[in-house]
Copies of this chain bind each other. A is one copy, B any other.
Amino acid sequence: MISELREKTGAGLIDVKKALDEAKGNPEEAITILRKKLGNKIDKLATRATKEGLVHSYIHVGGKVGVLVEINCETDFVAKTDDFKSFCQDVCLQIAAAGPAYVRREEVTEAEITKERDIATSQMEGKPAAAIQKIVEGKLEKYYSQVCLLDQPFVKNPEKMIKEILAEKVGKLGENIQVRRFTRYQLGA
């Protein structure tokens, strides 16, 4: 059970044991505890400078789609780990397959957000304002999950978002990790 929890949350052995104690052996509750703890850890790490990392690429079979990505971490030591490399490869695969437009939602332009809000609102005419707002926000979340890499469901495991895969790597490697930029070329497109 410990290794399953480590796999699922990216947490270290000691943290998993502590969480299981605290949750009195309930794995679901242990995961919640670990996620909160991991969230705090990631928030704390997120301000640290990321000057190292890797430039990584992926060309889909046949050479019609290709991806170039830069992912940063804090030290060259971490950049050289298999964990970091496999994350770079997964991110490349994701971009090749799912074709996001942005890394993160903060990069989506105001104009686009306004447009998406307007479309969603116009579909809801006649409903109560509070309900409309909730539905519109839901549609906006859906939009982010389509165009933003970090909000996309991971193509190799759609139950997790890319930002969750990222959080697990941060938890495991103990460094701030940032997807800085990517380019995706599709032949003739």
Residues of A173-189 at the interface with B, using a CB-CB cut-off of 8 Å, are 181, 183, 185-188
**Contact residues of A with B, CB < 8 Å?**
51-59, 63-70, 72, 79, 181, 183, 185-188
Report the minimum CB–CB distance from A67 to chain B (whole Å): 7
Q: How far is the CA of A51 from the CA of B188 in the complex (A)?
A: 6
Instruction: Give the residues in chain B near A185, CB-CB below 8 Å.
Output: 55, 68-70, 181, 183
Question: What number of copies of this chain does the assembly contain?
Answer: 2
Of B54, B67, B186, which one neighbours A63 at CB under 8 angstroms?
Answer: B54
Question: A79 — which chain B residues lie within 8 A by C-beta?
Answer: 63
For A183, list chain B residues within 8 Å (CB): 68, 183, 185
Q: Which residue of chain B has the shortest Cβ distance to A52 in the bound complex?
A: B187
Name the residue on B nearest A67 (C-beta).
B68
Given contacts A68-B185, A72-B187, could you give 10 more A-B pairs where the C-beta distance is less than 8 Å? Answer: A52-B187, A52-B188, A54-B63, A54-B64, A55-B59, A56-B66, A57-B58, A68-B68, A181-B185, A183-B183
> Contacts of A51 on B, CB cut-off 8 Å?
188
Residue numbers in B under 8 Å from A70 (CB-CB): 66, 185, 187
- In the complex, chain B residues whose CB is within 8 Å of the CB of A63: 54-56, 79
Q: How far is the CA of A88 from the CA of B68 in the complex (A)?
A: 15
Closest CB in chain B relative to A145 CB, distance in Å = 25
A59 interface neighbour in B57, B64, B65, Cβ under 8 Å: B57
Q: Are A56 and B59 in contact (CB under 8 A)?
A: yes
Q: Considering the chains assembled together, what is the distance between the CA atoms of A56 and B68 in angstroms? A: 10
> Shortest CB–CB separation between residue A46 and chain B, in angstroms?
18
